[in-house]
Structure formats: structure tokens, C-alpha cells
A = this chain, B = another copy of it.
Amino acid sequence: MSLLTQSIVQNHLLERLPVSEQNELLQHCEKVKLTFGEELCLPDQPYQYLYFPLDGFVSLVTKVAGHTPLEIGLIGNEGMLGVTLVLDIDTVPIQAVVQGNGMAWRIEAKALQQVLKNCPQLRRCLQQYLFVLLQQLALNAGCAHFHLLEQRLARWLLMSQDRAHSEQLQLTHQFLAQMLGVRRSGVTVAASVMQRQQLISYTRGEIKILNRAALLTQSCQCYQLSLNSYNAALGDLKPTPAEEVAPAP
């Protein structure tokens, strides 16, 4: 029996591994709590730990001088923070910040490099996930450039909900603004529209998703496209079955 069954929420990448590799890997892992705002990976530094999120999740952000950080990727239990280690390069390419409190498996970079030698399936899996990440970076770049704040906010809430495994999110408008690369008050306006439409509700840093289906139609297609690209590369694990594409008008 796998050590994984200790946790209710599992990491999808680990789930895909044969039990032998799971155990080999988890031997070197410890369960840690990710806390909001923590900077897990500093760019251009060597990796120290890598993370397989469970119900915590992490943003990849790019910092442009003179601007708030912009989110370009989101990593939850469908993925892993630090995949680029499969390239046998131990430098962090992109900064990562914890975005949702929760648990994750953590492993030392050096340990993972060792484990990779004996675990071909793990290597394969990380290669595939890196591929997906590339596609998502491209997708997000386009989304951030063209789509309206309200659509992007909707998408972002959906993606966070998927990764938090809860309809309750701890997020201030300030933080959302930073992730989306816009003003705080811009988010307030967009969010209050959504609140009036009963899509969400919030008070002081607690956002609750009330009507997920409606949020889906408000969000840009990038939400669905992002899921599709993941599923195409890493097979369907159907996290939220039968949520069909709702093309925007």
C-alpha cells in the first residue's frame, strides 16, 4: 500500500507512477505546510526543495522592474514545482510564490536527482509535465495580453478553486491584483460585479465561489484550453467531469 493513501487529496503526477517508484520517491519526501506568500523558489538560485502540492498551490510569477509581479503559471496537485530539474539543471528559472495555504510533499533537489536515476516513469512524467507547462506559459501570455480583467479574474478563481479543492479561497483583492498584473481597485470593481451577480461572495480576504457554472461562462476560454492541454499530455484523470466547453459570445 502506498504512502500516498495517507492523504485525501493526492498529487496527480505521483498517482501516475507505479507504486514502487512512488515509494522510492516518498521515502525522501516530507509533508510540509505551504503558507500564503512564501517564496519557494528564487530565480537564478539553485533549487533547494521541490514540491508536489496536495491542497496547497503555488504561482509562477515574472517580475518586471517597476511593476507588481505577474502570474504566468499556477501549480497545484495536478503538477509540481521545480520540474525543470529533469533538464539536469539545478537553477530556478522562474520565481514561485505560495498562493493557497495547504500541504505539499517536499523533496530535496539532490534527493530527487538521485531518485530520477532509478525511476524512468517519474522522469517521463516530469518531462510530460514540463511540456504542459510550456504550453501553459504560452497560453497565459496571450491571455494576459488580450483578455479583459473580468474574464481573467473568473478564470483565475476557477483555477484556484480546482487546486484548493474548496470553494472557499483566502485571497485579498490586493493579492489578486498583483497576480493579474492590474490595480487593486480594478479587481475590487470586477469582483463587486461578480458579487452582485451572485457568482461569488467575499469579506476581508475570504472569497467564496457561489456559482461555478456561471463563472465558467464569464471566464475566457483559456480555462478550458488549459485543462485540455493538460489532459492531452497527461491523460484524463477527470478532476471535474462533464464540465463542457461554454464558448463565449
Contact residues in B for A44 (Cβ distance below 8 Å): 232
Residues of chain A in range 44-71 having any CB-CB distance to chain B below 8 Å = 44, 60, 62-67, 70
**A123 nearest CB neighbor, chain B only:** B88
Taking each of A63, A135, A137, which has the highest tally of chain B beta carbons within 10 Å of its own beta carbon? A137
Contact residues in B for A183 (Cβ distance below 8 Å): none
Stoichiometry, as copies per complex, reads 2
State whether A131 touches B89 (Cβ < 8 A): yes
Q: Tell me the complex Cα distance, A143–B145, Å.
A: 10
Residue A189 is within 8 A (CB to CB) of chain B in the complex: no
Contact residues in B for A142 (Cβ distance below 8 Å): 62-64, 67, 70, 72
Contact of A127 among B63, B89, B94, B141 (CB under 8 A): B89
Residue A130 is within 8 A (CB to CB) of chain B in the complex: yes
Residue A119 is within 8 A (CB to CB) of chain B in the complex: no
CB distance from A96 to the nearest CB of B (A): 11
